[in-house]
Copies of this chain bind each other. A is one copy, B any other.
C-alpha cells in the first residue's frame, strides 16, 4: 500500500517547504511494478513532469545505479517544453538498474533570472548583487574543497556593485560552481525507484532459424545432432544467429500421433516432440535417436564457433509416459476415476498430453522442479529458451522462474510463444519474457501492418515488449503463404526482417516456399514435420536462400534495422504498397523499405517522405539505392515514384545518398 490522496505534508510531519512536484515519469510500467527493458550499450531516456509553484527556476537530476553499485550516479535533466524534463543514462552492465528523478527550487538560478531582468530593465542591481553575494557565501560551505576558497572571493567581487560585478554574476564559472554546490535541502525525490532490466544485445537484434533436427538424417533416416552439425554452415551461411530446436527430449508412446496428426501412430512413426517424456526420461533427457547429452553439448559448442546460439524449447507439459506422471501424480489434475486428466477443449481431446495442475497443493515443489529443468540446460551451455504456450501457466510462476534464472544468468533470454489476447501477451512481456511472438503472421494489409507496428513501437508497449516476427512456424502456414507462392514468402521475409529487429523463420519449409496445407481452411502443414520426418532439397533452384542471405547482410550492415525504435510509416497512394523508414536517432542511418503486398500483380505508387525529418535535402536531388535489387534512382523532393513487380522481388530497401549535386558526381556512388 502506498501513500494515498491524503495531505502529503502536514505542519507536524514532513517539510512543507518541499515545493517541487514530479509526475508522469517515463518509462514507468504500472507504477514501477515491472522493469523497462534495454540492451547493453543502449541509453535509457527518462522524461518527467517537474515543476513547482510560482516562477522560480528549478534544477533536476536523473539518479541511477546498477544493482551492483552502492552509490547513485547522477546526470542533469534538461527542460523540454511544458514542464517536461529529459535526461538519459547509458547501461553498460547486464542485470537491473534503478533510477529515479530529483528536483529542487534552485535559489541561485532564480536569482540569476531576476538579475538579468533587472539589468535589462536598466534598474540598479546593487540589492540583487548583495543578495547574490550572500547566496554564494552560503554555497561555499557546501562546495567541494577547491570551490570553497574561490566562492567567497567571488562573493566579495559581486559586492563591487559595478557593471563588471553584474557580468561576473552571470558568468559561466560562477554558474557551474553554484550548480555543484546547489542547496538541495528541500529537494524532492520521486516517490518510486524504477527499474530497467538490461539484456545482451541479441535480445534486441537477432535472426532465428527453427528446424527439426530429425529431418536432417538424409534418405529418410532419423537425423541426429551429428547430422545437424553438418547443416550448421547452411544456417550460419544465411546469416542467422540463433538456431532454435523443437523439444529434444524422449517422445511419449501412449496415444502418439501419426502423420498429419492422425489419431493412431504406426510403428516407426516418430511422434510429436511436444509430447515430452517416455521411459527413456523427461525434460532433462535427450531423445535417444538424436544422440547423447555429450552430442548435444558438442553441437552447442560447434554452433557457437559458427556464431550460432542454440535455443531450446521449453514446453512444460507431459506425455502420459513421462516419469513425472508416475513419480509425481500430485502435480496433475485427476478425473473422478483416479486417472490423470488429459488436455481437452471439447470436442477436442489431446490424450497424448497431460498438463500440469498449477493449482495443486504441491505447487511449490512443482515450481522448483520446473526451474531445475531450465537450470539443467543452462548448465549444458544453453542461454536462449523459446517457451511454449506460457499463457497457460500462471503469471507469478514465470515471473519467479525468469527472475531466478536471470539472477545468476542475466544473459538468459526467454521468447514467449503466446498467441493469445493482447493484454495477456503484454503481461508476459512485463513480467520478464525477453522477446515475444506477435500477430505479425496475420497482419497482411498495409493498414493492418502500420496500425499494429505503430502500437508495438510507438506507444508505452515498447518499454517492455520486444516483438519477434515469424512469417511461419511449424503451427502456422498462413493463407497468404498458401496462396501467394514464392512472391508471398519473399514479401513476408522482407517485412519480418525490416519491421522487426528480431525475426525468425521455420525452415527449410520457409526458404523452399512450402505452401501446401493439411486441408483447406487449416494453417497446418501437409505432412507436417511435427508428426513425421521430412526430406528437404536444400539446393532447389527457386530457394529463397540467396535473398535471405542478402537481407540478413543488409540487417547487419545497417544499425537502423537493429532496433525497433525509429520506425515510421509513409503514404504511398496505393493500398498494396507499404512504405516505412527506419532510422537511427542521429539519422546517420536511414533506410526506406517498400513492399508490394500483392503477390500476384505489379503495383506502382508515389512514396511521400518527410525529407527534413529524415535528414534528406528538401531542395536537392538525392540518390536512392535499392540494396536488394541493386537499382539506383535519382529522387527529388518528397514525392517519388516506386514500381514493384512481385515476381522479380516484392520488396525494395533503399539507402539514401545525400550531397549529390552534379551529374558527374554520380559515378562516385557507383
A binding-site residues for B, Cβ under 8 Å = 1-12, 14, 16-19, 21, 23, 29-35, 49, 51-55, 82-83, 96, 114, 117-118, 120-123, 127, 130-131, 134, 186, 191-195, 197, 335-337, 345-347, 358-359, 363-364, 367-368, 391-397, 399-400, 403-404, 421-424, 427, 431
Contact = CB atoms under 8 A, between A and B. Distances in A.
Contact of A193 (B4, B127, B195, B337): B4
Given A51-B421, A83-B424, A427-B51, A195 B4 contact: yes
A489 B421 CA distance: 53
Contact of A403 (B2, B6, B12, B55): B6
A616 B18 CA distance: 54
B53 A392 contact: yes
A117 B347 CA distance: 7
A9 B402 CA distance: 12
A18 B367 CA distance: 14
A19 B396 contact: yes
A563 to B, nearest CB: 23
Given A16-B363, A130-B336, 10 more contacts: A5-B33, A7-B396, A16-B358, A19-B359, A21-B395, A52-B394, A53-B393, A82-B421, A127-B335, A186-B359
A564 B102 CA distance: 36
Nearest to A3: B33
Given A117-B345, A118-B346, A403-B7, A397 B16 contact: yes
B423 A7 contact: no
A590 to B, nearest CB: 32
B424 A53 contact: yes
Nearest to A118: B346
Most buried by B among A9, A18, A35: A9
Contacts of A192: 1-2, 4, 31
30 contacts: A2-B32, A2-B33, A2-B192, A3-B33, A4-B195, A5-B33, A5-B34, A5-B35, A5-B96, A7-B396, A7-B400, A8-B431, A9-B399, A10-B400, A11-B364, A11-B367, A16-B363, A16-B367, A18-B396, A23-B30, A51-B423, A51-B427, A53-B391, A53-B392, A53-B393, A82-B422, A82-B423, A117-B347, A130-B336, A131-B336
B399 A8 contact: yes
Contact of A2 (B7, B31, B337, B423): B31
Contact of A17 (B54, B392, B394, B424): B394
A132 to B, nearest CB: 11
A422 B24 CA distance: 14
